[in-house]
Structure 1
Amino acid sequence: MSTPLWPEELVSTGTERDVLEAFLDCQRRQIVAKVAGVPEEAARRRIVPSKTTLAGLVKHLTAVERNWFHRQLAQRDPADIPGNSRGDDESWEPGPDDTLDGLVAEYERVCQESRRIAAGFALDDTVPSKRLGEVSLRWIYAHMIEETAQHAGHADILRELTDGATGL
């Protein structure tokens, strides 16, 4: 009996959009899986010199989702977006009332909203960008795969250093 295929494997002959969406969702799942079961104190513990913690990774990626899909793609006013939508240094620091479960739930909710926003655009559609002039949905997907995968790798190392857990 063969091992069931992962969602990103199921689109091995899919459209470009199917592949991009599946690989971004794969990385989003990796983030959630890497923090599952981590005690609250351990999720906030700094074990590297930077601000990077497991809880901080989730909070930062939530802000990055808001920035690229809600703020940039949907062209929403930052004042109308709850929470950090910049992905800046502040986005790495969980607040005193933040819990890991709450951060993960917010991340999943924001990712779902990102999917809903992206569904209204074609890959070639562009929107104005202060830094880039214009940016396409295709570029946003590629960037978000890169950003989320980079931080999934960080989460993998932090989790191993926290409790020895490796893999998914």
Structure 2
Amino acid sequence: MTDPHLDLAARAGVADERALLSAFADNYRAIFRAKVAGLSEADARRSPVRTGTSIGGLLKHLRWMEQAWFQRVLADEPNLPDRPAGEFFPTNEDTVESLLAEYDAQCEISRRIAAAHELSDTGVHHNLGEVTLRWIYVHVIEETARHAGQADIIREQLDGVTGPEI
């Protein structure tokens, strides 16, 4: 079964700016998710690279990245949990299923927040200062795409599986 988000970017070729940014964000979210499909618990934690980067760790990081940009920066929601110091490393309690569920839930929150704002609406980042939703979309697309590429290489090294083309 093909993920319905995987061709969103292609279908958004003549869409308005909001639809285009939203489609590309969802496209790369789906691409990353597809790279996790069928991954064993052991392989989700395994790292074939010196840095210790694993697909499970990248997935965990992407969940926190979504929260940081959409909830913390754009929506300025107080009382959010802090990003864990080891956000790139799954804990013993983390499973592929739980990490995917948390990521999916966080992406849905991001979508709702984005839908409630104009592209020119701003939030304040602690280092960058004021950033627009437009900027946040571009950054989230860039970061998710970069990590999807890393996941593709890691997955190929782990079990030879390559995912959808980026």
Return the offset for 1:89: 5.3
| Ranges in structure 1 where 5+ consecutive residues have no aligned partner | none
Distance in 2 (alpha carbons) for counterparts of 1:60 and 1:109: 14
Query: How many positions carry a matched residue from both structures?
Result: 160
CA contact (8 A) 2:125 2:131 kept: yes
Residue aligned with 1:165, SS? coil
| Ranges in structure 2 where 5+ consecutive residues have no aligned partner | none
Return the offset for 1:127: 1.7
1:121 aligns with 2:117: yes
Distance in 1 (alpha carbons) for counterparts of 2:98 and 2:13: 34
CA contact (8 A) 2:31 2:163 kept: no
Return the offset for 1:81: 2.4
Mapping 1:2-151, distance limit 5 Å: 6-77=7-78, 80-82=79-81, 84-85=82-83, 90-151=86-147
Distance in 2 (alpha carbons) for counterparts of 1:56 and 1:141: 22
Give the letter aligned to residue 157 of structure 1: I
Residue deviations 1:71-127 (CA, integer Å, cap 9, x gap): 1111012xx324x54xx7521011111101110111000000000011111011112
Distance in 2 (alpha carbons) for counterparts of 1:8 and 1:111: 17
Residue aligned with 1:166, SS? coil
Structure 1 residues 51 and 89: CA distance shift in structure 2, 3 A: farther
Please provide the CA RMSD for this pair.
1.6
